[in-house]
Amino acid sequence: MKIYKILSATVLAGAMLVGCTDDFEATNMNPNRPENVSANLLTATVTSEITRRLTDDGYDDGNTITQLMAKNNFPGFGQFEWDDEGMWSFYYNILPEVNDILEISRTEGSQNSTYEGIALTMRALCFANLTDMYINVPYSEALLGKTEGIFKPKYDNQEDIYNGVLQDLADADAAFAKNEAIPGNSGDVIHNGDPLKWRRLANSLRLRYLMRISKRRDVSSEMQAIVSGGNYIMDNADNAILQFSGTTNTDSWPESTGRIGGFDEKSLCTTGLEYLTRFNDPRLDIWFDRNTDGNWVGIPIGLNQDNARAYDDEFSPCRLDVNLFYFSRTDAEAFIIKNSEVQFILAEAAQRGFISGDAETYYNAGIEASLGYWGVAAEDITTYLAQEAVAYDGTLELLLTQKTLALWNVDFQGWFNYRRTGLPALEAGPDNLNQDRYPVRFLYPESEQNDNKENYEAAIQAIGGNDINIKGWWETGDRY
């Protein structure tokens, strides 16, 4: 692992600016938010809060839905006892801050193309996650309360949202290409205002989202253009990560600020244990501790409360590594996207013929990047890659299983990949509450039924109901 930088004090100041209301009118016209705030303070809020939330979601629920972890207490999420899971309000509360950065970056006297690119990138990221989690969501009218008085925005369809997301990222690429410096403190806790690194981040997200829609659309030329341009993440040094200073709860690894009982509720899942033992994977010993008997033991996904507690009492499944994920405020990091994910995207793209290049080379690079990030020595990575179970065999199942492991803690990206490809195969647990179906979306929040009823009803009619089993536009393509 790396030596971690201390976060700028502006993160703490910026974090105070996040809105805390749930409906659109309050989100777009927050009386508690100062009207004139500098771009660096807003950027501190946006880059820190979004990145922290992404990894919180990955740690708590993303690892569960991909069956790398499971809960031995309060296991409702693994049983698919779902609602909106709180992401709706988070993203729609912080998007006005993103929009403010964009406005400042384009205003005479405060124009700055790098701030513009950061805002466009983070806006694209937020809306991509919203539509991937809920399908149709407010997009084109979502942030028009202050300027146009639209407090009950319509829901846009997923294809139109993706068109906007990809356009924002293309515009961000053009903005970062100007290579404009940010004077003074940028407030950016990811890349400290470095336009080149942000350009690589924006284009890496473009690769992610182009692959996401590839069942619907021929994305070959767009992906190849990005690869040929070379402005994407190719090295762990360019990983889009947030390093915690540990000086306060706000700038510490989130789990380290909670109770040990809450930490102990998360265990190694039997599915994840099978992956990791099949590959003789050193990440098993990095992410988890052996149980009290010195063994590696998992717990099945989807047990109900009584069965989970009984299983825990009888078999003592392995907990997460307590030193890394609880006792240290700084060793674990939060991240948006890492080199390992990008390499696996390119491996799949090469295997499917979307881009030129060797799929095996990209596959190996993805593994090297992930193991290297988690501190595995170079000689051990070489040994790992030489194993028959790990060596590239040309199958998407192996490639996407390794990608799932590399997406540890990366919000819900592993689940999104599963929904697109069905790989690696996942089955509902024995006490699931969804008739043995694996869910593919979260529910719209109840507040929308009350505050935006007409548009909410139009949205559920358009997608076929407010149900966790309804597939979105990009999942139902037939290109492969």
The pLDDT tens digits for 196-213 are 999 999 999 999 999 999
- Cβ neighbours for 229, distance < 8 A, ≥ 6 positions apart: 203
pLDDT at 435 over 70: yes
Q: Does position 446 have pLDDT exceeding 60, yes or no? A: yes
pLDDT tens digits for 221-272? 999 999 999 999 999 999 999 999 999 999 999 999 999 999 999 999 999 9
Residue 294 lies in a domain: no
Summary mean pLDDT of the chain: 93
Closest CA relative to residue 172, chosen from 233, 120, 124, 242: 120
Residue 24 pLDDT level (bands cut at 50, 70, 90): very low
Let me know if residue 308 belongs to a domain.
no
Cα–Cα distance measured from residue 78 to residue 69, given in angstroms and rounded to the nearest whole number: 9
Mean pLDDT of 30-49: 80
Q: Say which residue, 311 or 22, is predicted with more confidence.
A: 311
**What is the rounded CA–CA span in Å between residue 137 and residue 462?**
11
- 95 within domain boundaries: yes
CA distance 387 to 367: 13
345: helix, coil or strand? helix
For 99, residues 6+ apart whose C-beta sits below 8 A from its C-beta are: 119, 123, 143
168 is written with which tokens? 């924002």
pLDDT at 22 exceeding the cut of 70: no
**Residues 24 and 137 sit within 8 Å (Cβ to Cβ):** no
Q: What pLDDT is attached to residue 20?
A: 38
Residue among 364, 372, 327 at smallest CA distance from 344:
364
In angstroms, the Cα distances linking 185 to 39, 120, 191, 239, 327 are 10, 20, 12, 21, 31
In this prediction, residue 26 carries a pLDDT of 43
| 63: amino acid identity, one letter | N
Kindly indicate the confidence band of residue 30, based on its pLDDT and cuts at 50, 70 and 90. Answer: very low
Q: pLDDT band at 13, cuts 50/70/90?
A: very low
CATH number of the domain within which 145 lies = 1.25.40.390
Q: What is the rounded CA–CA span in Å between residue 454 and residue 461?
A: 11
Per-residue pLDDT of 362-412, as tens digits, reads 999 999 999 999 999 999 999 999 999 999 999 999 999 999 999 999 999
Read off the pLDDT band of 54 (50, 70, 90): very high
Write the DSSP symbol of residue 335.
Answer: E
Supply the pLDDT for residue 37: 83
Concatenate the DSSP letters of all residues of 57-68 into one string: HIIIIIHHHTTS
Q: What is the pLDDT of residue 86?
A: 87
Q: Does a structural domain hold residue 433?
A: no
pLDDT of residue 19: 38
Residue 444, phi then psi, degrees to nearest 5: -65, 145
Is residue 270 included in any domain, yes or no? no
Amino acid at 4: Y
* Mean pLDDT, residues 290-302 taken together: 98
Q: How far apart are CA 453 and CA 246, in angstroms?
A: 43
Q: What is the mean pLDDT of residues 110-124?
A: 98
- Is residue 21 pLDDT above 50, yes or no? no
Residue with tokens 């989970």: 308
- Find the domain containing 78 and state its range: 11-256+329-427+450-476
Say whether pTM exceeds 0.85: yes
Provide the number of structural domains found in the chain: 1
- Evaluate if residue 322 carries a pLDDT over 90: yes
* pLDDT attached to residue 3: 34
Q: What is the 3-state secondary structure (H, E, C) of 139-194?
A: CCCCCCHHHHCCCCCCEECHHHHHHHHHHHHHHHHHHHHCCCCCCCCCCCCCCCCC
Q: Is 288 within the bounds of a domain? A: no
- Look at residue 354 in the predicted model and tell me its pLDDT: 98
Residue 118 is assigned to a structural domain of this protein: yes
State pLDDT tens for residues 83-106: 888 899 999 999 999 999 999 999
Are the CB atoms for 233 and 337 separated by under 8 Å? yes
pLDDT tens digits, residue range 65-79? 999 999 999 999 999
pLDDT at 340: 99
Q: Locate 404 and state its tokens.
A: 């799932």
| Residue 35 predicted with pLDDT over 60 | no
Tens-digit pLDDT profile for residues 132-154: 999 999 999 999 998 999 999 99
pLDDT at 27: 45
Residue 265 in domain: no
- Joined together, the tokens standing for residue 474 give 């990009």
Is 284's pLDDT higher than 70?
yes
